[in-house]
Structure 1
Amino acid sequence: MGAEPSAGVGRRPMSVRNLSALFAPRSVAVIGASNQANTVGHLVMRNLLSGGFGGPIMPVNPKYQAVGGVLAYADVASLPVAPDLAIVCSPPDSVPMAVAELGDRGTKACIVMTEGLSRAREAGGRSLQQATLDAARRHMVRVLGPNSVGLLVPALGLNASFSHQPALPGKAAFISQSGALCTAVLDWAKGRGIGFSHFVSLGDKADVDFGDAVDYLGAQPDVRAVLLYIETLTDARKFMSAARSAARNKPVIVIKSGRGEEGARAAASHTGNLAGTDSIHDIAFKRAGMLRVYSLEELFSAVETIAHTRRPMRGERLAILTNGGGIGVMAVDELSDRGGTLAKLSPETLARLHTVVPASTVVANPLNIGGSAPGERYTAALEVLLDSHDVDAVLVMHAPSAFSSPSDIARKVIDVARARRTASIFTCWVGQASVTEARGLFAEAQIPTFSTPDEGVQGFMHMVDYRRNQDMLMETPPSLPSEFTANTNSARTIVDLAIERGHLIMSEPEAKAVFAAYGIPTVETHIAHTAEEAEDVARRMNGPVALKILSRDITHKSDVGGVVLDLDHPETVRKAAEDMIGRVTATFPGARLEGFTVQRMARRPGAHELIVGATTDPIFGPVILFGQGGTAVEIIRDRSVALPPLNMALAHDMLERTRVFRLLEGYRDKPAADIESICVTLIQVAQMMIDIPEIVELEINPLFADSRGVLAVDARVRLEPGKTKGPHRLAIRPYPKQLEETFTMTDGRAVVLRPIRPEDEPKHHEFVSRLTAEDVRFRFFGLVKELPHDQMARLTQIDYAREMAFVAQLDEGGARQTLGVVRAVTDPDNETTEFSVVVRSDLKGSGLGKALMKKIIRYCQERRTKAMVGQVLRDNRRMLKFCEGLGFERIGIVDDDVVELKLDLAKVNLNAT
């Protein structure tokens, strides 16, 4: 992933550069190869030679003339050819020099199996790991490890590992941080006949990390799914971009170890304690379209289920068809425990089912068609359920019976599945010996099959969760219900002044002033330094007030007697303040007391008390939290988290993931809360965290919410000066509003040129529909009548970290329309970007096309991308002339009718075009 212009110092992550030498080498050298049994150098040579690798294998060790019967070389310089891949298993102090020599020789990838490099140091104090990386970077050598078990690519016969087991060939890539788990998984998988396209041990991830591996393997056509075992993540932005890109094309399934909350940070608010690290990882995986599982069995079961299901289900309602009541009830119980939805069958569906089952059958869901049910009864009932608009998927279950053949019934179910290619069918043949053949038939037909009701429901829920996460990845969220414009300058001034005064825990009035600048309704609040001042403030406010202690040392005021509510008279305010000083001093003698806050009592009878907050995760950066608030918030622990930026759909999802949401929807005679206002508040808080990096923690607790809207009653903000600015501190890059500009066309009309947004999809459909047939052919290299939602979503919901699209939008008479779009998709190494541009035919000669192209070229230059490339049909002469006028050169012909163009971004001068 390319660095942003403001990304600061440090090396730019190389991502997939030279990874082909690691994953698909043509030659391999082993540094530290050995004939001594039970050494890493011996095991690696044994595995390489027995794996069937077709290229040269070159052992390097001055002690031997040959290793494993293969001619050995004294050093790297003596090698007859530069190896694409080198496996380094020599002592720690020799590794940096070995990598340097390999880089000098032309090697582009190394697997460093040696451990302990991060702990061992050179005479000057530099760690051997850093010395190895420094040597590698001089020649762009990619390093897998150190402390890596190695790499296996069965299709190439490459077993570049010291594992005791080879890997069977398969279609799933497995990437693990744990070396011990790698060897265990290989052993476990071989016993179950599970194969891999690639098997990767990342080791200490000094260079090649999860983001790099996912980026490369996610783009390989022979990889059907990517499986991850994660202990820790480092570069969250790179990982999220890589995972989101891969998850658009194939399943990415992850196990994350270390799920406990013990690692929660000590924090200055409830939010910091509630936003546990595991819940943050969980929402990050969901936001990237990945599926999280919790065991190896579940991991491989999930990939088979998702890969074999022909298309994502249209919904989440499950019908259960069974020949045994007991196993049907077990499936329903499991579905309920997992939060699944049992389909409610309509009278029409029930009536149709009555015509295909015996009269004595109780027609319901689950549908028990009897222990003696033949295949024809299964077929008839299954077709009715699949035809029903009440059902999104069917779990077909069978328990062995003396009256029917499990295999014959399986064949009948398979016939139905083949006839209905889009149907979501799951099967569960319970038992062992008598159903083995049937399960084999299902596996051959690529129909998900399971051996117990629990596993069958689990497989269905994997698809439900996967579909939800894909929807989150591919959604087209609605725009905000009302214009939201933050007074960022005002908030910035308040924060800067607080830092200047040393108020790193902002006072409540300061915090509320920041919230008000972002449009969050707050309760009027004033500071009083003495009990007498509190009395005067209360007199001016002329009404019931709440009195709170003011101290940056006290996080939870009510716990120390620092809150008194419903004070009706100024005199009672003074008395309460005097009493409060005594209570707080006795309870918390070391606290520095600065006075009091006096705020108008918020009369919202029946309002829900919520918590909205934000904290900063060391891996994923800013995190937003929502849940049920009040003083018992940490006991209730009803919360959800999300990564900014947010929109209405993502904010609403946060609400739905809490128990309090059911109350917010209204019940009995209590009206529903203003859900929209709560969602907007979450978006405002997320935007605040994006705009002001010095805010590392904030909290509104309680946030009153009812049918009239929301009101922030109490507020807390913690600042940390000197925090890195810029969007790269966020795991997901937000909408880059600073790239918006206005352009005036030759006819005098002003259009806005801005980055594309997800909510542009409807206007984008309209834009494509108004293109001429010739425009469509020139843009899509063929006739396209209409792009489906999933393809259009990919064009409008982009990852700003690695691609960009600018739209030209005209606003006339309140009606907005898209006039043109230019797009650039950049490789993860920021070397080359591929462009496309299209403008409505009636606007040719308006200057809009040139303005869009200049904007995307300028953007790519600022990102320091090296070259822009594109393909243009040979008969699109106008476009070819246009591009050549901007400095593009023709570099080749593709398929006789397509011209390939290239622009050197370092040399082009837009002012001269």
Structure 2
Amino acid sequence: MLHRYACAMSIRNLDSLFDPRSVAVIGASERPFSVGGTLWRNMRSEGETVKVYPVNPKYQALSGERCYARVADLPETPELAVICTPASTVVDLIRQLARRGTQAAVVITAGLSGEQKQAMLEAARPTLLRILGPNCVGLLAPHAGLNASFAHIPARPGELAFISQSGALVTAMLDWADARRIGFSHFVSLGEHADVDFGDMLDYLASDARTRAILLYIESIDQARKFMSAARAAARNKPVIVVKAGRSAQGQKAAASHTGALAGADGVYDAAIARAGMLRVDSLEELFLAAEILTRFKGPIGDRVTILTNGGGAGVMAADAAAASNVPLAELGAPAVGDLDAVLPANWSRGNPVDIIGDAPAQRYVDALNALSRHPDDTGTILFIHAPTAIVPATDIARAMVPAIQPTGKPGLPLISAWVGGHAVAEARELFLEAGIACYDMPEQAVQAIGMLQRYGHNQAELSEAPPSAPVEGPVSDKSRPDTARVQAIVSKVLASGRDLLTEPEAKDVCEAYRIPVVATRSVAADPEAAANEAASIGFPVVMKILSEDISHKSDVGGVVLNLQDAEAVRTAAREMLTRITNSHPEARLDGFTVQQMVKMHQAQELIIGASVDPTFGPVILFGQGGTAVEVMKDSAMALPPLNASLARALIERTRVSKLLAGYRDVPRVDMDAIVATLQAVSQLLADVPEIAELDINPLIVNHAGAIALDARVRVSAKAPAGSAHFAIRPYPEKLIETMVWQGQALTLRPIRPEDESQHRAFLESLDPDDIRMRVFYSRRTMERSELARLVQIDYAREMAFVATITEADGTEKTLGVARAQADPDNIGAEFGIILRPALKGTGLGRILMDKLIGYQRSVGTRSLTATMLTENHRMRQLAQALGFAEQASADSAGTSTLTLDLQTLHN
């Protein structure tokens, strides 16, 4: 296994990779159709933006320029090197480049062994030389005039970044995009991503001003927590769209539980992409459809669509496409219909789609649009479809509509357009595109894009959730707390006995300990007579199951018999079960029988809730339709823990069975809270007990009155693959919550959370403009909701904000101050800031918050804390001096100074 160091590097020196001042092409050649020849031509074809040096001992000159035999012969240290020499030369070349001070390299070469790749990384590590590849096509950065690739054509300049693991796909995508005049800010082939990987690229591109959307082609992920942290940070800034190869791949090999069999890698990627706020699409064409909609759509993402069209046929086609894509059409209310009646001919469709008739002049389009815009709660997203006519030029219609879609000083309408046709609508389409309005050629494409937009909205909602490892909703009592010690005792006993599979009674004990309702089960009946006696004491009817450490799926071997009505039926069933299993599985150890009450719930659904450990993303949770045919039905979805109530409900909604759970005909809605509570309990179990390797609750029977688990399986592992430390998403760090008495009242110091949005807005609005100017150099006290969301929806793996709060007399929480630190992706340094309510200056609260922040950043290994401060901020200077910060006047900004605290030196 490679000991990769990118997890500690991230964006270090990536500027040298994508915007170098000088490049050495090692292996440059004039041979036609060779990699070295193509690279040399591509590098030179971009003009004089970058200084390019050829390195190849076989030539004295290339294309009229001096060719250098060795790296040591170069007249200057190249900021970037591109290597396309044999695999046996790569390690030494990287060592030479590192000694010269080169900061980045693209290793085109394929065929490096594991040992060679490891040696390459070790040679680069001392000087932090970054490596793209090996075995890659290279990279293109059109804005920097850089084509360090052997692609057959250059990339057009644009605002999309495309990152791919597949080299073949890189060249195909370039060709496809060039034919459609699609441009890129960056075009990168990761190859074997020994160093620079998806996490690094997401970190780099998240703050790149030239990139408005990031497109990823993923085959596999190596470092899940790094990837998820980077993806969640990037997705808060701009759309991230993913094509993940392998939807049709076979699932994991048969496991001890249904969950293990169902939890194939593709479903886990679905869960990870959704939780990170990204959007997954199925094809390259959809990738660009999604990029168009996500970067151009204005307004809130609605869950319904109103179609506005000048052609009935086009409207019907769009409605059919909406039905096929599960995009609901809006039901227009009487007020909206009345407003449309006032501006449309009497024979208009009077429904959705809104057909304004083919002879409509330009003003009718505007009037209809204005009528719909007055009822946003009714209409949702507007899909405008126009087919050309000979009556009114499409260009005139577009010119009239753009001001109505984007009225001056007001937010734009949530509108998507489809100009159907060719030359007749080309200019109208361009006018819409110039105005930043999402535009498609066909109604079906537009509907497909709307479906993507809605999925993206759901994923962005999941991104904003930051649940702790344990649920915090509602009052907590000793009775409702899970009995973790009881579970750990069971697990320790099982592992000590040499087993990894819990018996059914042990598995149900685990469920009970985490407050998951289970049907009562008599522990062990050794023989048919004992089973009959147990059944009599429970009361008939009963269910009897075989008890064996060697048989997991009991129903598959005839090891479950239902609805036994009397003792004799139990005896007979037990004897037949023993004979049947002895014949079919003679090697199985048979420990007896379990007997439990036969549960009958009226109008109930059978569900499955499970957990397993994915080799990449760690613990995952599964929910779906349950029963013995669960693998055949394949109606399930997965989510990454930790889960809160909102995320649990989102998981449920991703399954087909959720429609049945909502109620139908005379069947009432099931107790959704009971399902949500079970999902949260499983999430907490995975966080608390690292030894859990698989869990299966199947079936979980649920109806309007509640839920109960009829069967459970649990597999454990001494390797402890679960636990919150192995979660791909760091839970809300509730352990950092601290309370103290301050000025005679209870003060809480805790990490900020998404639910603080309205509370944090009130805090910001309480500040003096001068206080904000001192801290962030501007005077606004209010901010857009998207800006505010970024302050409270933080990724605790790389950013921390501690708030100091008190509880007021009416029970509401009030924020008094906040101290925040944003670490660079390498965790080398973190920039901090602190701000308090005006009346609390000089009370010592700032010192309390800064001590909390400094202690935390030191504990996670951050090397230094820094801040840029206005020199007139005397209170901040006094606080910084008391805390041991060094102050230095800023060289590039008059009136400011830099505060720095060396955390690790002081600590040591």
TM-score with structure 2 setting the length: 0.94
* Residue 678 (structure 1) shift: 1.1
* Residue 86 (structure 1) shift: 0.3
Secondary structure class of the residue paired with 2:825: coil
Instruction: Supply the distance in 1 between the matched residues of 2:208 and 2:177 (Cα, whole angstroms).
Output: 22
Q: Among 360, 377, 384, which residue is 2:371 paired with?
A: 384
Give the alignment of 1:219-230 within 5 angstroms.
Answer: 219-230=207-218
Secondary structure class of the residue paired with 1:900: strand
Q: CA RMSD in A?
A: 2.4
1:519 matched to which residue of 2? 515
* Residue 897 (structure 1) shift: 4.2
* Residue 764 (structure 1) shift: 3.1
Instruction: Supply the distance in 2 between the matched residues of 1:528 and 1:75 (Cα, whole angstroms).
Output: 77
Instruction: Supply the distance in 1 between the matched residues of 2:830 and 2:47 (Cα, whole angstroms).
Output: 38
Residues 69-102 of structure 1, C-alpha deviation per residue, up to 9 Å, x if partnerless?
2211111111111111000111110110000110
Q: Does 1:201 align with 2:185?
A: no
Instruction: Supply the distance in 2 between the matched residues of 1:276 and 1:739 (Cα, whole angstroms).
Output: 35
Aligned residues: 894
Work out whether residues 479 and 759 of structure 1, in 8 Å CA contact, stay in contact via their aligned partners in 2: no
Work out whether residues 45 and 68 of structure 1, in 8 Å CA contact, stay in contact via their aligned partners in 2: no
Q: Does 1:505 align with 2:501?
A: yes
* Residue 249 (structure 1) shift: 1.2
Instruction: Supply the distance in 1 between the matched residues of 2:629 and 2:599 (Cα, whole angstroms).
Output: 20
Q: Among 439, 446, 469, which residue is 2:459 paired with?
A: 469
Instruction: Supply the distance in 1 between the matched residues of 2:310 and 2:768 (Cα, whole angstroms).
Output: 57
Residues 162-190 of structure 1, C-alpha deviation per residue, up to 9 Å, x if partnerless?
11101111111111111111111111111
Work out whether residues 213 and 240 of structure 2, in 8 Å CA contact, stay in contact via their aligned partners in 1: yes
Residues 656-696 of structure 1, C-alpha deviation per residue, up to 9 Å, x if partnerless?
22222222223334332221121121111112112222212
2:637 matched to which residue of 1? 640
Q: Does 1:418 align with 2:428?
A: no
Secondary structure class of the residue paired with 2:31: coil
Give the alignment of 1:356-435 within 5 angstroms.
Answer: 356-389=343-376, 390-419=378-407, 421-435=411-425
Instruction: Supply the distance in 1 between the matched residues of 2:230 and 2:511 (Cα, whole angstroms).
Output: 34
Q: Among 713, 732, 735, which residue is 2:732 paired with?
A: 735
Secondary structure class of the residue paired with 2:819: strand
Identity, in percent, stands at 50
* Residue 153 (structure 1) shift: 0.9
2:303 matched to which residue of 1? 316
1:675 matched to which residue of 2? 672
Secondary structure class of the residue paired with 2:897: strand
Letter in 2 for 1:615: S
Secondary structure class of the residue paired with 1:63: coil
Structure 2: runs of 5 or more not aligned: none
Instruction: Supply the distance in 2 between the matched residues of 1:680 and 1:227 (Cα, whole angstroms).
Output: 36
Give the alignment of 1:130-529 within 5 angstroms.
Answer: 130-313=118-301, 315-389=302-376, 390-419=378-407, 421-474=411-464, 480-483=473-476, 485-528=481-524
Secondary structure class of the residue paired with 2:379: coil
2:37 matched to which residue of 1? 42
Instruction: Supply the distance in 1 between the matched residues of 2:94 and 2:193 (Cα, whole angstroms).
Output: 16
Instruction: Supply the distance in 2 between the matched residues of 1:768 and 1:448 (Cα, whole angstroms).
Output: 35
1:128 matched to which residue of 2? 116
1:260–1:53: structure 2 CA closer, same or farther, 3 Å change rule?
farther
Secondary structure class of the residue paired with 1:403: coil
Residues 266-298 of structure 1, C-alpha deviation per residue, up to 9 Å, x if partnerless?
221111222232222122112111122222222
* Residue 812 (structure 1) shift: 6.8
Give the alignment of 1:732-811 within 5 angstroms.
Answer: 732-745=729-742, 747-771=743-767, 775-811=771-807
1:121 matched to which residue of 2? none
Work out whether residues 4 and 121 of structure 2, in 8 Å CA contact, stay in contact via their aligned partners in 1: no
Residues 237-281 of structure 1, C-alpha deviation per residue, up to 9 Å, x if partnerless?
111111111111111111111111413332211112222322221
Letter in 2 for 1:491: V
Q: Among 676, 685, 688, which residue is 2:685 paired with?
A: 688
2:605 matched to which residue of 1? 608
Work out whether residues 266 and 272 of structure 1, in 8 Å CA contact, stay in contact via their aligned partners in 2: yes
1:725–1:844: structure 2 CA closer, same or farther, 3 Å change rule?
farther
Letter in 2 for 1:296: L
Secondary structure class of the residue paired with 2:389: coil
Instruction: Supply the distance in 1 between the matched residues of 2:274 and 2:4 (Cα, whole angstroms).
Output: 31
Work out whether residues 27 and 85 of structure 1, in 8 Å CA contact, stay in contact via their aligned partners in 2: yes
* Residue 11 (structure 1) shift: 7.7
Letter in 1 for 2:473: L
Work out whether residues 6 and 196 of structure 2, in 8 Å CA contact, stay in contact via their aligned partners in 1: no
Work out whether residues 52 and 158 of structure 1, in 8 Å CA contact, stay in contact via their aligned partners in 2: no
Letter in 1 for 2:120: T
1:196–1:815: structure 2 CA closer, same or farther, 3 Å change rule?
closer
Secondary structure class of the residue paired with 2:905: coil
Secondary structure class of the residue paired with 1:182: helix
1:572–1:850: structure 2 CA closer, same or farther, 3 Å change rule?
farther
* Residue 475 (structure 1) shift: 5.3
1:11–1:110: structure 2 CA closer, same or farther, 3 Å change rule?
closer
Q: Does 1:20 align with 2:19?
A: no
Instruction: Supply the distance in 1 between the matched residues of 2:23 and 2:4 (Cα, whole angstroms).
Output: 35
Moved more, 142-151 or 424-433: 424-433
Work out whether residues 522 and 711 of structure 1, in 8 Å CA contact, stay in contact via their aligned partners in 2: yes
* Residue 129 (structure 1) shift: 1.7
Work out whether residues 6 and 197 of structure 2, in 8 Å CA contact, stay in contact via their aligned partners in 1: no
1:738–1:547: structure 2 CA closer, same or farther, 3 Å change rule?
same
Work out whether residues 692 and 722 of structure 2, in 8 Å CA contact, stay in contact via their aligned partners in 1: no
Residues 727-755 of structure 1, C-alpha deviation per residue, up to 9 Å, x if partnerless?
4422111122332333333x354433332
* Residue 627 (structure 1) shift: 1.2
Work out whether residues 53 and 158 of structure 1, in 8 Å CA contact, stay in contact via their aligned partners in 2: no
Give the alignment of 1:523-562 within 5 angstroms.
Answer: 523-528=519-524, 530-531=526-527, 532-541=529-538, 544-562=541-559
Moved more, 497-506 or 430-439: 430-439
Secondary structure class of the residue paired with 2:105: strand
1:123 matched to which residue of 2? none
Secondary structure class of the residue paired with 1:528: strand
Letter in 2 for 1:345: L
1:449–1:769: structure 2 CA closer, same or farther, 3 Å change rule?
closer
Work out whether residues 386 and 393 of structure 1, in 8 Å CA contact, stay in contact via their aligned partners in 2: no
Instruction: Supply the distance in 2 between the matched residues of 1:24 and 1:692 (Cα, whole angstroms).
Output: 47
Instruction: Supply the distance in 2 between the matched residues of 1:662 and 1:725 (Cα, whole angstroms).
Output: 32
Residues 575-615 of structure 1, C-alpha deviation per residue, up to 9 Å, x if partnerless?
43222211222333332222222223334333322111111
Work out whether residues 334 and 454 of structure 1, in 8 Å CA contact, stay in contact via their aligned partners in 2: yes
* Residue 479 (structure 1) shift: 5.8
Instruction: Supply the distance in 2 between the matched residues of 1:822 and 1:682 (Cα, whole angstroms).
Output: 34
* Residue 783 (structure 1) shift: 4.0
Secondary structure class of the residue paired with 1:340: coil
Instruction: Supply the distance in 2 between the matched residues of 1:644 and 1:247 (Cα, whole angstroms).
Output: 19
Instruction: Supply the distance in 2 between the matched residues of 1:9 and 1:236 (Cα, whole angstroms).
Output: 14
Work out whether residues 406 and 413 of structure 2, in 8 Å CA contact, stay in contact via their aligned partners in 1: no
TM-score with structure 1 setting the length: 0.93
Q: Does 1:90 align with 2:77?
A: no
1:482–1:533: structure 2 CA closer, same or farther, 3 Å change rule?
farther
1:4 matched to which residue of 2? none
Secondary structure class of the residue paired with 1:808: strand
Instruction: Supply the distance in 1 between the matched residues of 2:832 and 2:51 (Cα, whole angstroms).
Output: 40
1:440–1:499: structure 2 CA closer, same or farther, 3 Å change rule?
same
1:680–1:871: structure 2 CA closer, same or farther, 3 Å change rule?
farther
Letter in 1 for 2:412: T
Work out whether residues 613 and 624 of structure 1, in 8 Å CA contact, stay in contact via their aligned partners in 2: yes
Secondary structure class of the residue paired with 1:372: coil
